[in-house]
Amino acid sequence: MAQPTHPLHLVAVDAVKALIKRGERLCILPQNLTEFWSVATRPVSVNGLGLSTGNAHLEVLRILKTFELIPETAAVFPIWLRLVYEHEISGQNVFDARLVASMEANGLDDVLTFDAGDFRRFRDIRVVHPDALAAPPPSFPS
Protein backbone atom coordinates (compact mmCIF):
# COMPACT_ATOMS: atom_id res chain seq x y z
CA MET A 1 0.00 0.00 0.00
CA ALA A 2 2.92 2.33 0.68
CA GLN A 3 4.43 1.80 -2.76
CA PRO A 4 2.09 3.32 -5.39
CA THR A 5 4.20 2.10 -8.31
CA HIS A 6 4.21 -1.55 -7.18
CA PRO A 7 2.15 -3.87 -9.42
CA LEU A 8 0.18 -5.14 -6.39
CA HIS A 9 -0.52 -1.69 -4.93
CA LEU A 10 -4.13 -1.48 -6.15
CA VAL A 11 -4.87 -5.04 -5.05
CA ALA A 12 -3.67 -4.17 -1.54
CA VAL A 13 -5.63 -0.93 -1.43
CA ASP A 14 -8.79 -2.59 -2.76
CA ALA A 15 -8.50 -5.42 -0.23
CA VAL A 16 -8.25 -3.00 2.70
CA LYS A 17 -11.15 -0.94 1.34
CA ALA A 18 -13.25 -4.09 1.04
CA LEU A 19 -12.52 -5.02 4.66
CA ILE A 20 -13.40 -1.52 5.84
CA LYS A 21 -16.64 -1.63 3.84
CA ARG A 22 -17.50 -4.98 5.49
CA GLY A 23 -16.93 -3.43 8.91
CA GLU A 24 -13.99 -5.68 9.75
CA ARG A 25 -11.60 -4.81 12.56
CA LEU A 26 -8.26 -3.95 10.96
CA CYS A 27 -5.29 -4.47 13.26
CA ILE A 28 -1.55 -4.06 12.98
CA LEU A 29 1.17 -5.22 15.31
CA PRO A 30 4.30 -3.29 16.33
CA GLN A 31 6.36 -5.93 14.54
CA ASN A 32 4.58 -5.10 11.27
CA LEU A 33 5.60 -1.49 11.67
CA THR A 34 9.16 -2.41 12.64
CA GLU A 35 9.51 -4.58 9.55
CA PHE A 36 7.90 -1.86 7.42
CA TRP A 37 10.39 0.73 8.75
CA SER A 38 13.27 -1.57 7.87
CA VAL A 39 12.08 -2.00 4.27
CA ALA A 40 10.90 1.59 3.87
CA THR A 41 14.22 3.13 4.89
CA ARG A 42 16.42 0.61 3.06
CA PRO A 43 17.84 1.82 -0.28
CA VAL A 44 15.97 0.83 -3.45
CA SER A 45 19.19 -0.84 -4.67
CA VAL A 46 18.81 -3.47 -1.93
CA ASN A 47 15.06 -4.08 -2.32
CA GLY A 48 13.87 -1.23 -0.12
CA LEU A 49 11.61 1.74 -0.69
CA GLY A 50 14.36 4.32 -0.21
CA LEU A 51 12.31 6.58 2.05
CA SER A 52 13.91 9.07 4.39
CA THR A 53 13.23 8.51 8.07
CA GLY A 54 10.94 11.55 7.96
CA ASN A 55 8.85 10.09 5.14
CA ALA A 56 8.83 6.65 6.77
CA HIS A 57 7.54 8.29 9.95
CA LEU A 58 4.74 10.00 8.01
CA GLU A 59 3.82 6.69 6.39
CA VAL A 60 3.68 4.92 9.77
CA LEU A 61 1.37 7.66 11.06
CA ARG A 62 -0.84 7.18 7.97
CA ILE A 63 -0.92 3.44 8.58
CA LEU A 64 -1.96 4.03 12.19
CA LYS A 65 -4.98 6.02 10.97
CA THR A 66 -6.24 2.94 9.12
CA PHE A 67 -5.23 0.10 11.43
CA GLU A 68 -5.70 -0.42 15.16
CA LEU A 69 -2.32 -0.88 16.84
CA ILE A 70 -2.35 -3.98 19.04
CA PRO A 71 0.16 -3.64 21.89
CA GLU A 72 2.92 -6.14 22.53
CA THR A 73 2.49 -8.15 25.70
CA ALA A 74 4.55 -10.60 27.70
CA ALA A 75 2.10 -13.32 26.65
CA VAL A 76 3.59 -13.39 23.14
CA PHE A 77 6.99 -14.90 23.95
CA PRO A 78 5.90 -18.27 25.39
CA ILE A 79 3.46 -18.74 22.49
CA TRP A 80 6.22 -17.89 20.01
CA LEU A 81 8.62 -20.32 21.67
CA ARG A 82 6.02 -23.09 21.49
CA LEU A 83 5.32 -22.36 17.81
CA VAL A 84 8.96 -22.30 16.68
CA TYR A 85 9.64 -25.53 18.56
CA GLU A 86 6.49 -27.40 17.47
CA HIS A 87 6.87 -26.38 13.82
CA GLU A 88 10.69 -26.62 13.79
CA ILE A 89 10.95 -23.05 12.49
CA SER A 90 14.31 -21.48 11.80
CA GLY A 91 15.77 -18.53 9.93
CA GLN A 92 13.62 -15.63 8.82
CA ASN A 93 10.42 -17.62 9.33
CA VAL A 94 10.76 -16.94 13.07
CA PHE A 95 9.33 -13.47 12.40
CA ASP A 96 6.17 -14.92 10.86
CA ALA A 97 5.85 -17.18 13.89
CA ARG A 98 6.11 -14.11 16.12
CA LEU A 99 3.25 -12.46 14.25
CA VAL A 100 1.16 -15.60 14.70
CA ALA A 101 2.04 -15.68 18.40
CA SER A 102 0.94 -12.04 18.73
CA MET A 103 -2.28 -12.87 16.92
CA GLU A 104 -2.94 -15.81 19.22
CA ALA A 105 -2.18 -13.75 22.33
CA ASN A 106 -4.68 -11.13 21.18
CA GLY A 107 -7.44 -13.39 19.87
CA LEU A 108 -6.90 -12.49 16.21
CA ASP A 109 -7.78 -15.20 13.69
CA ASP A 110 -7.10 -13.81 10.21
CA VAL A 111 -3.96 -12.54 8.54
CA LEU A 112 -4.10 -10.58 5.28
CA THR A 113 -0.92 -11.24 3.34
CA PHE A 114 0.52 -11.70 -0.12
CA ASP A 115 2.88 -14.28 1.40
CA ALA A 116 0.18 -16.83 2.18
CA GLY A 117 2.57 -19.77 1.97
CA ASP A 118 4.58 -18.49 4.93
CA PHE A 119 1.57 -18.88 7.23
CA ARG A 120 -0.04 -22.13 6.02
CA ARG A 121 1.73 -24.24 8.65
CA PHE A 122 -0.23 -22.47 11.38
CA ARG A 123 -3.58 -24.25 11.64
CA ASP A 124 -5.18 -21.85 14.15
CA ILE A 125 -5.26 -18.85 11.81
CA ARG A 126 -6.96 -18.12 8.52
CA VAL A 127 -4.75 -16.80 5.75
CA VAL A 128 -6.47 -14.30 3.47
CA HIS A 129 -4.78 -13.30 0.22
CA PRO A 130 -5.63 -9.75 -0.91
CA ASP A 131 -6.72 -11.11 -4.31
CA ALA A 132 -9.64 -12.78 -2.53
CA LEU A 133 -10.94 -9.38 -1.41
CA ALA A 134 -9.95 -7.02 -4.21
CA ALA A 135 -12.65 -5.52 -6.35
CA PRO A 136 -13.59 -7.67 -9.34
CA PRO A 137 -12.81 -6.23 -12.77
CA PRO A 138 -15.62 -4.13 -14.25
CA SER A 139 -18.06 -5.98 -16.45
CA PHE A 140 -19.20 -4.44 -19.67
CA PRO A 141 -22.62 -4.96 -21.23
CA SER A 142 -22.67 -7.20 -24.29
For 23-35, the pLDDT digits (tens) are 999 999 999 999 9
In a domain, 139, yes or no: no
- Concatenated DSSP letters of the chain: ---TTSTTHHHHHHHHHHHHHTTPPPEE-HHHHHHHHHHHHS-GGGTS----HHHHHHHHHHHHHHSEEPPP-TTHHHHHHHHHHHTT--TTHHHHHHHHHHHHHTT--EEE-S-GGGGTT-TTSEEE-GGGTSPPPPP---
- Which CATH number covers residue 63? 3.40.50.1010
In a domain, 104, yes or no: yes
Domain count for the chain:
1
pLDDT of residue 135: 55
Q: What is the percentage of the chain residues whose pLDDT exceeds 90?
A: 75
In a domain, 46, yes or no: yes
In a domain, 69, yes or no: yes
For 26-72, the pLDDT digits (tens) are 999 999 999 999 999 999 999 899 999 999 999 999 999 999 999 99
Q: Which residue segment(s) compose the domain that 107 sits in?
A: 9-132
